Amino acid sequence: MKARLSPNLISFITVRRGDWILKVSVYKNKQIMVVAQHCFDMETTHIKFFQDQNAAADFIEQLVIEE
């Protein structure tokens, strides 16, 4: 089976911010998906979708600040 790749999907490198491992993907410059996994409690994972990049940035900031 061949995998289909979308030229409209951009996935950025995984980064660690505070106690969180973050992966951000953007589809057609309109939909943003943020996957956050806690470094020490691997069962704590958040997957959120956003239409606005400012809302995604605010979510990441709030997540890191709450530590």
**For 12-62, how does the pLDDT look when each residue is reduced to its tens digit (9 = 90+)?**
999 999 999 999 999 998 899 999 999 998 889 999 999 999 999 999 999
The structure's pTM equals: 0.84
Cα gap 24→3, rounded to integer Å: 21
pLDDT of residue 5: 67
